[in-house]
Amino acid sequence: MSKQKKIHAKKLTAAAANANISSPEVSPPADQARDPDDTEALILKVSESFSAAMEEKLSVFSEALDKIATKLEGHTTRINDVEQRVSNTEDTVDDLAGRLAAAEKKITLMANSLDDMENRSRRDNIRIINFKEGAEGSNPLQFFETWLPAFLGLDKGLGPVTSRIKMDRAHRGLGPQSARPRPVIIKLHNSRDKQRIMAAVKAVPEPKHDGQRIYIHQDLSASVREKRSGFNDVCRALIGKGIRFNMRYPATLTLTHGSTVRKFFTPRDAQAFIETLN
């Protein structure tokens, strides 16, 4: 080849190269170039991965729900057991409440009966209050048999009255000695002597011995004395108003206001009546 032909061939090659650079061919997109079978495979793979992930998550969630369901079932069983026990306890309590009420009723009845028996055993007794400790000497029975009639003036009464009252017992009340004298309890031999003594006590306004005010009462049980002491304020108010009253066994305040006889079983009712008089 001649030298001129070689130069002309190089020029044609360079021109063709420049033409390729200035006008490139547009290649098709990668997605359009991808094979449809590959797309379906990719979708299937993504679906399988998503399904596997969801299965794993749902499996964990299902296990948690199973545990919760088991606990709820256990709690339900325990609650049912507790409800049954509570029901049984309520039935037992109701039964015990009924039995307790019946027992309390019986105990109250027995206590009242016992208190009545105690007061019946004391019905021939008298109680001397505020009598100087030791003034009766070493033989209280002999002392009070002669002292009591003289103190109340029974030896000066009309009729066949002796200067001596027969007594079965005379002693101080139980308890330690103190500044306040212990009460003297006397068991009379005859019931009629008690009636005479109590009538004489009412006739003497303020009997005194050795300068001390002496009080003579019926000998009653501690429960009756406590009930009667609740009327002390009411009795003082009645005395201040000049209203006559008496205390009937066991602890019933009786008074006459106008032409009406009134009975009060509690200090509250008696106090309410006195307030109406003001």
Q: Is residue 33 part of a domain?
A: no
Domain, as residue range, for 160: 123-219
The tally of domains found in the chain comes to 3
More confident residue, 53 or 193: 193
**What mean pLDDT is reported for the chain?**
84
Q: Are residues 136 and 210 in the same domain?
A: yes
215 membership: H or E segment, kind and range? strand 215-218
Last residue of a domain, one of 170, 192, 219: 219
List CB contacts of 125: < 8 A, sequence separation 6 or more: 185, 186, 187, 188, 194, 218, 219
CA–CA gap between residue 43 and residue 239 (Å, rounded): 115
pLDDT digits (tens, 9 = 90+) for 237-248: 998 888 889 899
CA–CA gap between residue 153 and residue 145 (Å, rounded): 13
pTM: 0.61
pLDDT digits (tens, 9 = 90+) for 40-84: 878 888 887 888 888 887 888 888 888 898 889 889 999 999 999
Q: Is residue 10 part of a domain?
A: no
Residue 188 pLDDT exceeds 90: yes
